Amino acid sequence: MRGPHNIWRLIRTGATFERTGAMRVVLEAMSVPPRLRFVARVMGWPFAWLGLKGDPALPPVTRALTALGPAYIKFGQILSTRPDIVGPDLANQLRYLQDKLPPFPQAQARAMIEAELERPVDEMFSEFSEPVAAASIAQVHHARVAGTGEEVAVKVLRPGIVRAFRRDIDAFYFAAGMVARLLPSTRRLRPIEVIAHFEGVVMGELDLRLETAAAAEFAANTEGDAGFRVPRPVWHLSARSVMTLGWAEGVSLGDNAAIDALGVDRAEMGERVLQLFLKHALRDGYFHGDMHQGNLKVSANGDLIAYDFGIMGQIDEYTRRVYAEILFGFIRKDYRRVAEVHFEAGYVPADRDIDEFARALRSVGEPIFGMDADHISMARLLNYLFEVTERFGMETRTELILLQRTMVVVEGVSRSLNPSINIWHVAQPVVEDYIRTTLGPAAFLRDLRRTMTVLGRFGPHLPGAVDTALLRLRQPEPPAPQGRSLAALGWFVAGAAVAWAGLLTVLYF
């Protein structure tokens, strides 16, 4: 699939942007230098007739993205949360992509549900509405469960969506491979691995059984979080292409006027969104990976309601600690410690100068502190961060892509509620609490106990393992393998000592 035929798809992408007028809008919004802007327009103009026409009623960029397909729409949803990067006008236009895309017919949705759940819709639901929201991957219907009368939201995948995504991702792989071959300097960004990560995330989103499980796990993790709600899934009415959740009544987090009408403090809500994301990422290691305004509501009592759990992020405990230490270092302006954490985690090659890296980090962080958020250009900041990573040979960490992307989206959502929000001040109590509970003396003892417990489980196997190693030593073997056996015996003996010491430690604590 990833052959030269994808060149046509990429040409058509550029041609669609030129034909719809989106090319000019994007180049201006991203502040591309006039000379490069002129070159891009000249190169794109001859191919404009090859582009897709799209819906002329939509603004140019929205028109181009909807014409190109679901993978492009996903990218537009991310940009819709960043008016500080693409400008407020373009961000507002792109919010259309969050939940206002054209729906497919109700009759088709009912047929898909019946085929998936093998029961008539009228037997499962006493009420089943026309689509109430439609996005790139699925649409939602309001319904009532037959018998109980429970209000639910029924999510149904778009017909042919899996094939459409595979086609787009195939073209992205081709483009990433071409970029890596033609521009060797970009290999540190690992473009192919980035697309592979994107593919994994998206293909998981296309199996609603996984989303149902994610909703259940996320609801359990966040049950005690004040001012936050997650609708519970209805398992017997969910399958691969259909998911049923409890109905969540509220206004969109992107509708500031409606939020004000509820009497909700938007500044406090902006802080809550950011702090909840950090809590979920650091405390649980499991967070909502698609927190744009289209997936968040505000209830009448002021609770924040999250839904659409197709993209969830997961990070291991070590990565959480690294991430927290980096944030904590920036909050305390301890750029030397931030630099040390990057080197300790292997994010920066060991042959680079740590002091020079610390100074580069200071040049990123210092302009932010003490300045109102509405005076900070995130576009310039991101551009400079890119320069820093390039200078120090930092490779893209695929395990952090979703975390970093979601952080950018969440900050954009918080800023839409309160343009003057200072993310560092808001993040400080959450990060400090995590640092206190995971990096102090009590946390060290807890980690030691857990380590010893794991090692202790191997205790019963160690005598047999030592006997096996000794028997191998008695057999005639070449010198090299014998050396390996001696080394193995040494490790077994050391492991036995550590394991039994672990058992004693566990009993003691």
Q: Does 91 map to a domain?
A: yes
Question: Does the pLDDT value for residue 451 go beyond 80?
Answer: no
Q: Which of 98, 124, 158 is the last residue of a domain?
A: 98
- Picking from 410, 439, 468, the residue at the C-terminal end of a domain is 439
Give domain status of residue 233, yes or no. Answer: yes
CA angle 32, 62, 413 (to 5 degrees): 80
Q: Is residue 1 part of a domain?
A: no
End-to-end CA distance of the chain: give it in Å, rounded: 58
In a domain, 400, yes or no: yes
Cα gap 197→108, rounded to integer Å: 32
What's the domain count of the chain? Answer: 4
- Same domain for 72 and 125? no
**Residues 92 and 148 placed together within one structural domain of the fold:** no
pLDDT (tens digit per residue) in 256-295? 999 999 999 999 999 999 999 999 998 999 999 888 888 8
Answer yes or no: do 262 and 308 share one domain.
Answer: yes
Instruction: Catalytic residue, from 99, 168, 170, 290: name it.
Output: 290
Domain identity same for 301 and 392: yes
Pair 435, 454 in one domain = no
Q: Kindly state whether residues 206 and 348 are assigned to the same domain.
A: no
**320/241 same-domain check:** no
Say if residue 65 is in the same domain as residue 129. Answer: no
Q: Do residue 212 and residue 326 come from a single domain?
A: no
Q: Judge if 419 and 337 occupy the same domain.
A: yes
Last residue of a domain, one of 392, 413, 439: 439
For 480, the domain range is: 442-508
Same domain, yes or no: 404 and 450: no
Same domain for 14 and 154, yes or no, is no
In this structure, which amino acid lies at residue 285?
A: G
* pTM beyond cutoff 0.75: no
Residue 25 lies in a domain: yes
Higher-confidence position of 445 and 217: 217
d(CA 333, CA 324): 14
pLDDT tens string 394-415 = 776 666 667 777 887 888 889 8
Question: What one-character DSSP code corresponds to residue 100?
Answer: B
Does 353 participate in catalysis according to the annotation?
A: no
pLDDT digits (tens, 9 = 90+) for 311-360: 888 888 888 888 888 888 887 888 898 889 888 888 888 888 999 988 88
At 75 the pLDDT is 75
